[in-house]
Structure 1
Amino acid sequence: MQTIHLAILIGYLVVMLLIGAYFSRSSRVSTGDDFIFAGRALPRPVLIGTLLATWVGSGTIVGGANFAYNYGPLAAFLFSAATPLGIVVLYFAAAKIRALSTYTVPELLEARYGVGVRMLGAVVILLAYVGITAYQFIGGGHIISLLTPLSQTQATLLVAGVVTFLAVGGGLLSVAWTDAASALLIVVALLVSVPIVISQIGSPADYWDQLSASSQSLTGGLSTMQLLGYFLPLFLLILADQNLYQRLTAARDQGTARSSTAGFFFGAFVVMIPVGILASAASVLLPDLETGDTAVLSLASEGFVPTVIGGMVLAGALAFIVTTGTSFMLSVAGNVVYDFYVRHVSREVSDKARLKLHRLTVLGIAVLAYLLGSFFPSVLELQIHSYTIYGVAVTPAVLAVLFWPRVTKVGALASMVVGTAAVLIWEFALDKPHDWNSVLIALPLSVLALVAGSLTSRPPAVEPVPDDSANSR
């Protein structure tokens, strides 16, 4: 059985590498804009697929599965509801994001707050996104190590190598097209797997009856504050995720950006709901798993679904992990190139030099992400930590750019400094009192600092963010 799984997995990797090689040709990717924005010409179906695959990676297939395995399907649905709620906000902001056409989120911040806020935002994003890339490597390693004699460390290195190759080669052009194919594969595999896995337990009623009492509850045995501590980091990240902003900027026009966000909204449900059901079913069928990280993956690898379907689930899960990893590597490479090098070292950079710089930066990020992953063996732990740093330090300032004309530089700086400091103090100096995630303390303080700093300083003398009719770059 594992031979067939392995063959499907190898087949997927070969196809992805061939696509990467195809789009890495100089005729398709010859400039920095081609590399980071795919020439700003992604069609709607590809854009929907890349939005979904970028967002739904190891954090859902591994981290989200861990949550559902331990706390049950209802709590998992509440946790993952952050995604569709965040997409609704993005829908109304999508045309503005496309009109602004900035390379990075810190560039957007500078246009409103100045260079100091841009630099601080770039540092925060660098820290958070390297962490997110790290847990893609770990999640992919879980899959490879399940099916091969490779250790977790060796498998993680292999995944890091594949992700890096795809990111270095064709940039967003190759990533977007592999994303679209990966999204289709995982959606089909997950939807087909749900009724098959439930039938292994019996009926849907049997599945429900065999869940633990806490897993049948709405909160999974967590307190309201604990559950909110898981929900908020995910919600805050999607509201201002540079990755998603860059994809919306890569749309052909503002209309395509907005309609693709609607497709992303519906696509999220057909991934999150099956993952919650499958992972909680694994707590019945495989109650002694060493970690919930492998809940969905173990169902596929241990024969609870037909061999071919199991292979599709594993390949699809790896697909999302690989594409999410490439996306975040590309995104944070953009921060290094545009927010640091081009902004402060040399504004006159040729297209060829910028392309080379992008690729070298991706290689450096891959090394940093692998090293960071060795300190956080749990995907869920690293996921929440990375999301929280980004969500409390960057998201309030970004949303204020889009929706609050009264916000000022003083407010933005205060929000970013206070939010980051609150996370670090709560997590490391105080060791998470009451077992509350730091977002519960850091977010209110960050928003309060944003509002107080803005209202007590001079209003900005800049025009509001361009509306939907603004000209795109």
Structure 2
Amino acid sequence: MQTVHLVVLVVYLAVMLLIGAYFSRSSRVSTGDDFIFAGRALPRPVLVGTLLATWVGSGTIVGGANFAYNYGPLASMLFSAGTPVGIVVLYFAAAKIRALSKYTVPELLEARYGIGVRMLGAVVILLAYVGITAYQFIGGGHIISLLTPLSQAQATLLVAGVVTFLAVGGGLLSVAWTDAASALLIVVSLLVSVPIVISQIGSPVDYWNQLSASSQSLTGGLSTMQLLGYFLPLLLLILADQNLYQRLTAARDQGTARSSTTGFFIGAFVVMIPVGILASAASILLPNLESGDTAVLSLASEGLVPTVIGGMVLAGALAFIITTGTSFMLSVAGNVVYDFYVRHASREVSEKARLKLHRLAVIGIALLAYLLGKFFPSVLELQMHSYTIYGVAITPAVLAVLFWQRVTKVGALASMVVGTSAVLIWEFALNKPNDWNSVLIALPLSVLALVAGSLASKPLETEQVQVDEAGER
């Protein structure tokens, strides 16, 4: 345990908690709208930072590092390629998303499909986002346990507590500003670390030559179908990620929403490429790690980079994990409040009551996520499961709202039911035949059900009006 590492980590946590306390003041967050949308006034630099930090969390620093450690840098780029591809789609959809100004993705679904689809979508998002929150807790626990005498279980509990505090306090306002600071920290630390770690091996040529034959290949030794099974869940999640939609809605205006996706696109590469290089370099320098989950983290904790830089890497990794955790907790709490409570309340719910409900919902989500993490100790496994459920059940229906006028309620319901059922049957009843991730089967079935159900049914006159009007503003 490096004292410098621990000091850097403690300083980072203290700063995050202070920011959270600052934005928890009632003068900054006094309504439910302030809590979930930061008053719809986020400036472009903060919006870029929060988009990047929200997306690049434990799934990249831990799960993505695990993939690169085992399959090599080129395969890891294919694994992560869903992110930039998805951001390009978001660029063209950003203005419409901001104009619609929905609290949740299920609310967007109701505008086209009706209340039944909204409720089914809310249930699916709840299941997926609790899983994503759970692996943020696990990933943060990895870092804390590397630097302190705390066990993995104790460290995970500590991270869960910090994440919950930040989300409960200032809502998106505190999360967005801590995101921006965290994004800057991790980008700088990763970029500085790459040449230092490569020099520990020798030269870039030495690094490449010492990788295994499979790690030098484009597929990392995986079959095309196996690699596609890793690529698709990431792409599907980002295309309809409620978290990102809410941040685009929190932009000052439609122009800010769209332009921020450009910075998000560039930032994604600045993080993904160094993680792939560092984790694959760890397979050379630290070939006997018990788990690839700690590949990037162990480079810092084992003294293979200068202590201050190592502390920045560890703090930056924890920063992304914490901010991603707060974001997903905050987002799914919005589903609990707006989709399950406010939508069905018999009377108007005041802003003060909504704010209180948001905070109670965040605490409840934290407890569920912590318990779920006990059943999925591997971040990569939980990551793939959560992404897939969301991607096959929600993404086709959401993209159809934005881009296909002929889609109907029948098609959306069929897509959600068929997609979710296919994932559960393939994963648990059939136990993943051929070691294929369930997305390879569930996605085609989900899209087929969407198209067939829509073409076989007649759209209601009210199904398209609200969405089309938003696109014309």
Scaled by the length of structure 2, the TM-score of the pair is 0.99
- AA aligned to 2:270 is V
For 2:78 and 2:109, the matched residues in 1 are separated by 31
Residues 274-353 of structure 1 correspond to what in structure 2 (within 5 A)? Answer: 274-353=274-353
Checking the alignment, whether the CA contact within 8 Å between 1:63 and 1:380 is kept in structure 2 is yes
Residues 84-233 of structure 1 correspond to what in structure 2 (within 5 A)? Answer: 84-233=84-233
Secondary structure of 1:461's aligned partner: coil
Partner of 2:430: 430
For 1:163 and 1:267, the matched residues in 2 are separated by 23
For 1:466 and 1:357, the matched residues in 2 are separated by 32
Secondary structure of 2:68's aligned partner: helix
Deviations 1:55-93 (A, max 9, x none): 000000000000000000000001101100000000000
- AA aligned to 1:130 is V
Secondary structure of 1:368's aligned partner: helix
The Cα shift of 1:460 comes to 3.4
Deviations 1:370-411 (A, max 9, x none): 000000000000000000000000000000000000000000
Partner of 1:273: 273
Deviations 1:265-298 (A, max 9, x none): 0000000000000000000000000000000000
Checking the alignment, whether the CA contact within 8 Å between 1:95 and 1:468 is kept in structure 2 is no
Checking the alignment, whether the CA contact within 8 Å between 1:141 and 1:152 is kept in structure 2 is yes
Deviations 1:35-63 (A, max 9, x none): 00000000000000000000000000000
The Cα shift of 1:459 comes to 2.6
Checking the alignment, whether the CA contact within 8 Å between 2:409 and 2:459 is kept in structure 1 is no
For 1:318 and 1:165, the matched residues in 2 are separated by 15
Checking the alignment, whether the CA contact within 8 Å between 1:99 and 1:470 is kept in structure 2 is no
Checking the alignment, whether the CA contact within 8 Å between 2:65 and 2:296 is kept in structure 1 is yes
Partner of 2:440: 440
Deviations 1:141-163 (A, max 9, x none): 00000000000000000000000
- AA aligned to 2:442 is A
The Cα shift of 1:345 comes to 2.8
- AA aligned to 1:128 is A
Q: Is structure 2 residue 456 aligned with structure 1 residue 466?
A: no
For 1:432 and 1:347, the matched residues in 2 are separated by 47
Checking the alignment, whether the CA contact within 8 Å between 1:254 and 1:468 is kept in structure 2 is no
For 1:168 and 1:358, the matched residues in 2 are separated by 8
CA RMSD of aligned residues (A): 0.9
Secondary structure of 2:468's aligned partner: coil
Residues 330-409 of structure 1 correspond to what in structure 2 (within 5 A)? Answer: 330-409=330-409
Query: Cα distance 1:417–1:468, how it changes in 2: closer, same or farther (>3 A)?
Result: closer
Checking the alignment, whether the CA contact within 8 Å between 1:406 and 1:460 is kept in structure 2 is no
For 1:79 and 1:66, the matched residues in 2 are separated by 11
Secondary structure of 2:304's aligned partner: coil
Checking the alignment, whether the CA contact within 8 Å between 1:211 and 1:284 is kept in structure 2 is yes
The Cα shift of 1:469 comes to 6.2
The Cα shift of 1:467 comes to 6.1
Secondary structure of 1:172's aligned partner: helix
The Cα shift of 1:123 comes to 0.1
Checking the alignment, whether the CA contact within 8 Å between 2:105 and 2:242 is kept in structure 1 is yes
Checking the alignment, whether the CA contact within 8 Å between 1:20 and 1:174 is kept in structure 2 is yes
Checking the alignment, whether the CA contact within 8 Å between 1:242 and 1:331 is kept in structure 2 is yes
The Cα shift of 1:461 comes to 1.5
Scaled by the length of structure 1, the TM-score of the pair is 0.99
For 2:143 and 2:425, the matched residues in 1 are separated by 35
Moved segments of 4+, more than 3 Å: 466-471
For 2:96 and 2:240, the matched residues in 1 are separated by 13
Q: Tell me how many residue pairs correspond in the alignment.
A: 471
Query: Cα distance 1:397–1:7, how it changes in 2: closer, same or farther (>3 A)?
Result: same
For 1:382 and 1:459, the matched residues in 2 are separated by 37
The Cα shift of 1:443 comes to 0.1
The Cα shift of 1:347 comes to 4.5
- AA aligned to 1:177 is W
For 1:188 and 1:168, the matched residues in 2 are separated by 29
Checking the alignment, whether the CA contact within 8 Å between 1:96 and 1:466 is kept in structure 2 is no
Secondary structure of 1:466's aligned partner: helix
The Cα shift of 1:344 comes to 1.3
- AA aligned to 1:47 is L
Checking the alignment, whether the CA contact within 8 Å between 2:100 and 2:470 is kept in structure 1 is no
- AA aligned to 1:436 is W
For 2:470 and 2:116, the matched residues in 1 are separated by 28
Deviations 1:409-455 (A, max 9, x none): 00000000000000000000000000000000000000000000000
Residues 8-87 of structure 1 correspond to what in structure 2 (within 5 A)? Answer: 8-87=8-87
Structure 1 unaligned blocks of 5 or more: none
For 2:344 and 2:97, the matched residues in 1 are separated by 24
- AA aligned to 1:412 is A
